[in-house]
């Protein structure tokens, strides 16, 4: 019987079947595996969830610097917080009903991003949020 060889680039064995991903790796929407430590996820899942409750992201960033998992989600939560504050300030200065409606729509989109981020955190995923994820990854906090 021939031994199964797995190609690391495609994650397929020599029969063409896709091999299971190891427990220490998660898959991102782009299909790339991001190594994560299961202990870090278990111990800091609640912190990752709390980081999407706007201002709490600041506390998570300050208190959980040792956790790559919590820090990843806290940076995304912090960007969501900053965008939300910016939209609120703009809404306060602009008294147009059209601008107010547009800002309301954007706030609803941010709420959807918060829900997606919380679901990702609960499920142990480090998946970047659309638009927000790139900004957060570029932050050096």
pLDDT at 123 over 60: yes
How confident is the model at residue 132, as a pLDDT?
A: 86
43 contacts: CB under 8 Å, gap ≥ 6:
67
Domains of the chain by residue range: 1-35, 36-138
pLDDT digits (tens, 9 = 90+) for 87-122: 989 988 887 888 888 999 999 999 999 999 999 999
66-92 burial, b at 16+ Cβ within 10 Å, e below that, comes to ebbbbbbbbbbbbbbbebbeebeeebe
Lowest-pLDDT range of 25-34, 75-84, 104-113: 25-34
Report d(CA 60, CA 52) in Å as an integer.
10
Highest mean pLDDT among 18-22, 59-63, 99-103: 59-63
Pairing label, strands 12-13, 6-7: antiparallel
How confident is the model at residue 96, as a pLDDT?
A: 80
């Amino acid at each position: 019987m021939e031994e199964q060889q797995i190609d690391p680039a495609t994650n397929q064995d020599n029969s063409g079947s896709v091999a299971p991903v190891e427990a220490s790796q998660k898959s991102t929407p782009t299909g790339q595996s991001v190594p994560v430590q299961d202990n870090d996820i278990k111990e800091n899942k609640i912190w990752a969830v709390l980081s999407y409750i706007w201002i709490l992201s600041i506390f998570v960033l300050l208190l959980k610097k040792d956790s790559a998992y919590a820090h990843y989600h806290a940076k995304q939560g912090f960007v969501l917080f900053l965008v939300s504050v910016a939209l609120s300030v703009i809404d306060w200065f602009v008294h147009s009903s059209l601008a107010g409606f547009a800002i309301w729509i954007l706030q609803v989109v941010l709420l959807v991003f918060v829900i997606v981020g919380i679901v990702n955190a609960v499920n142990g995923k480090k998946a970047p949020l659309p638009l927000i994820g790139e900004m957060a990854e570029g932050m050096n906090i």
